[in-house]
Amino acid sequence: MNLKQKAAEKAVEAIQDGMKVGLGTGSTAYWAIQKIGERVAQGLYIQAVATSQASEDLARELGIPIIPFDQIGRLDITIDGADEVNEELVLVKGGGGALLREKIVESNSDRLIIIVDESKDVKKLGAFPLPVEVVPFASEWTLEALRKTGCEAEWRIKDGERFLTDNGNYIADCRYGTIEHPQELEIRLNQIPGVVDNGLFINMADQVIIARANGQIDIRN
Ligand code: DER
């Protein structure tokens, strides 16, 4: 079992019968969705929403009941990955391009469990380029405004084209080097016209499960 799978399966232990569950996005959340699918096949009853079309498609393949967002109400728990986590449970997310739906779903969850391998556990945020979701209209102006916040900002490219999120927006990957004051930066970024949201998830994670190469699983609350 790989480290991502170990962290994921530990998190899925928190899911109980009858829960409303948010499904994260990415290669670590993939293992959580697989484990949830296994438990559903063994009789677990949950209702779920997904943070991306890819996770929704996987969930449906596994027989996990997907409920429309406007019918599910508040969620009991969401399990998701991250690109960086620090000691204060501040996250950098969006490596998979799903940050907007993740932030919406996770802000409507009573509990958010983040699952990572130890490579994501950092003292200082910012080595991973911060993803920022940007509307296509006048996007070059928005990119320039992002650069003025002190980063090297480049459009994310996929198959030679600008990457499009499930919401039809672009992602700018912003290299700050280190992010000393994430709270201030998050506010500043979201005040830029054309920015939809960014990959800083502050005061959102209730627990981070870190799987380490030495076999240890650390739980940070
Ligand atoms: O896009 C996202 O926010 C993903 O959760 C990402 O941050 C983690 O992806 P990974 O589990 O594939 O590393």
What is the distance in angstroms between the CA of the first residue and the CA of the last residue of the chain? 24
For residue 161, the tally of other CB atoms under 10 A from its CB is 8
User: What does residue 167 show for φ and ψ, rounded to 5 degrees?
Assistant: -100, 5
User: What does residue 195 show for φ and ψ, rounded to 5 degrees?
Assistant: -85, 130
- Both tokens of 51, joined, read 């943070």
Cα separation, 197 vs 68, in Å, equals 23
Looking at ligand 1, which atom is closest to the CA of residue 30?
11
Name the residue at shortest CA distance from atom 9 of ligand 1.
Answer: 26
Cα separation, 128 vs 10, in Å, equals 25
> What is the reported pLDDT for 33?
98
Q: Does pTM surpass 0.90? A: yes
3-class DSSP state for residue 172? Answer: strand
ipTM of the complex: 0.96
> What is the reported pLDDT for 68?
94
Does position 1 have pLDDT exceeding 90, yes or no?
Answer: no
3-class DSSP state for residue 59? Answer: helix
Q: List pLDDT tens digits, range 160-180.
A: 999 999 999 999 999 999 999
Please give the distance of CA 28 from its chain centroid, rounded to a whole number: 10
Using a 6 Å cutoff on CB, does residue 28 contact ligand 1? Answer: yes
Q: List pLDDT tens digits, range 70-114.
A: 999 999 999 999 999 999 999 999 999 999 999 999 999 999 999
Q: Is 102 a catalytic residue?
A: yes
Q: List pLDDT tens digits, range 120-163.
A: 999 999 999 999 999 999 999 999 999 999 999 999 999 999 99
Cα separation, 108 vs 89, in Å, equals 18
Cα-to-centroid distance, 26 and ligand 1 (Å): 4
Q: Which of 102, 106, 133, 186 is catalytic?
A: 102
Kind of pairing between the strands at 170-175 and 152-155: antiparallel
